[in-house]
Structure 1
Amino acid sequence: MTPSNDFLDTVFHHARTANAFTNAPVAPALLRQAYDIAKMGPTSMNTQPARYVFLTTKEAKARLIPALSPGNVDKALQAPVIAIVATDTRFYEFMSIVFPHNPNATALFEGNAALASGTASRNGTLGSAYFIVAARALGLDCGPMSGFDMARVNEEFFPDGRWLANYLINLGYGDKSKLFSRSPRLTFEQATVVL
């Protein structure tokens, strides 16, 4: 089944990184809906290590602002929601739930720190990419950001060290008048090899 052109336009072709937002609020139910769609995307061994902290109040955002690069402060404050995308370093504690047909799955990761760390990093990022696609499909605009002090975010929001910050996503309804021109993308020939 081929996706409709409208869907592809919404999620990819016409979707843009939002740098400014309107003041329209984002309903908490919409965040839940985006998560419930994104969690269905495949991750290796169904590990699902992506975690999210949604900052929706001025007080919550104020805790993040000192960790942001100066160029990201205004756009973050303007966004109705800032998502801290994190990775659960002990995702494997849920393996009996998410991968029940392999009773040894937890032990596989629990006894191998390098495997657990690599799996968490790759699949946490992969899972959160599904979240961006789901949010766009539901009509939200997204502004992913990596300009922040990760250690400060971890200290402020994840002091126990179980979850670790990966990147941030500003969420809301973008102000189309403040979009930048789309930057070029690499061609198929530049980015791929077919063997």
Structure 2
Amino acid sequence: MTKQFHDSVLSPDTLDQLFNEARSYNGWLDKDVSDEQIAAIYDLLKMAPTSANMQPVRIVWVKSADAKARLAKLVMEGNTEKVLSAPVTAIIGYDIDFHEELPWLFPHTDAKSWFEGDEEGRKEGAFRNSSLQGAYLMLAARAVGLDVGPMSGFDNEAVDAEFFGDNSRHKSNFICSIGYGDTESIFDRSPRPDFGTFNTIV
């Protein structure tokens, strides 16, 4: 059992790329992120688990100068330049009516019926699982050689109206800039607690 565990562990370099040496960036190098790279990120994150494979995440990839300017007006002042300078910023949202897709996403049983008539339950599930998918997005971006800068300082209702306006059932969760991070834009890593600080094995 121990040998099998060790055989499956990622290399130290890969773990550094995904976790140990990875940082959240505030500034970006002037290097483009291609549509192919964006698609590669999605193709990885969609493979990660969600409850009943509900796949509630809905992402708008803000890449054009016009779209960046529109988004930059809706974030807090400290995030404005982060959005404008990043090659792309993903608006990670979720679909309150994700259950409508369950007949083909989770065909093993009538999962759609689990969520019908329970909008508050759907909102909770969609928010939780889109948060998970947003985290997978960040790992996927790092896995394909990019850096990330997640943010929550923005006007959710205004972003929803501007970027999800054609579907009022889609709501924004958080945003995340993606590109090639400028090391001059970050400070020393903040402390991380040891296992025993916040963990209990029972």
**1:174 corresponding residue in structure 2:** 181
Q: Which amino acid aligns with 2:156?
A: M
Q: Secondary structure at the match of 2:73?
A: helix
Give the distance between the partners of 2:159 and 2:119, measured in 1 at CA: 23
**TM-score normalised by L of structure 1:** 0.96
For residue 153 of structure 1, the aligned residue among 156, 159, 170 is 159
Number of aligned residues: 194
Give the distance between the partners of 2:59 and 2:100, measured in 1 at CA: 17
**2:53 corresponding residue in structure 1:** 46
For residue 150 of structure 2, the aligned residue among 144, 150, 158 is 144
Q: Which amino acid aligns with 1:42?
A: P
Give the distance between the partners of 1:189 and 1:170, measured in 2 at CA: 32
Gaps of 5+ in 1: none
Question: 2:16 aligned with 1:9, yes or no?
Answer: yes
Question: 2:195 aligned with 1:184, yes or no?
Answer: no
List, as ranges, runs of 4+ consecutive aligned residues in structure 1 with deviation greater than 2 Å: none
Q: Does the 8 Å contact 2:96/2:119 carry over to 1? A: no
**1:132 corresponding residue in structure 2:** 138
Question: 2:85 aligned with 1:86, yes or no?
Answer: no
Measured after TM superposition, the shift of residue 65 of structure 1 is 1.6
Give the distance between the partners of 1:110 and 1:184, measured in 2 at CA: 44
Measured after TM superposition, the shift of residue 186 of structure 1 is 2.1
**TM-score normalised by L of structure 2:** 0.93
Q: Secondary structure at the match of 1:67?
A: coil
Measured after TM superposition, the shift of residue 75 of structure 1 is 1.4
**2:26 corresponding residue in structure 1:** 19
Q: Which amino acid aligns with 2:183?
A: K
Q: Deviations over 1:13-51 (max 9, x none)?
A: 010001100010001101100110111111111111111
Give the distance between the partners of 2:195 and 2:115, measured in 1 at CA: 36
**1:163 corresponding residue in structure 2:** 170
Gaps of 5+ in 2: 1-7
Q: Secondary structure at the match of 1:16?
A: coil
Identical-pair percentage: 42
Measured after TM superposition, the shift of residue 116 of structure 1 is 1.1
Within a 5 Å distance, the mapping from 1:37-116 to structure 2 comes to: 37-102=44-109, 104-116=110-122
Q: CA RMSD in A?
A: 1.0
Measured after TM superposition, the shift of residue 178 of structure 1 is 2.3
Question: 2:24 aligned with 1:32, yes or no?
Answer: no
Give the distance between the partners of 2:95 and 2:84, measured in 1 at CA: 26
Q: Does the 8 Å contact 2:94/2:126 carry over to 1? A: yes
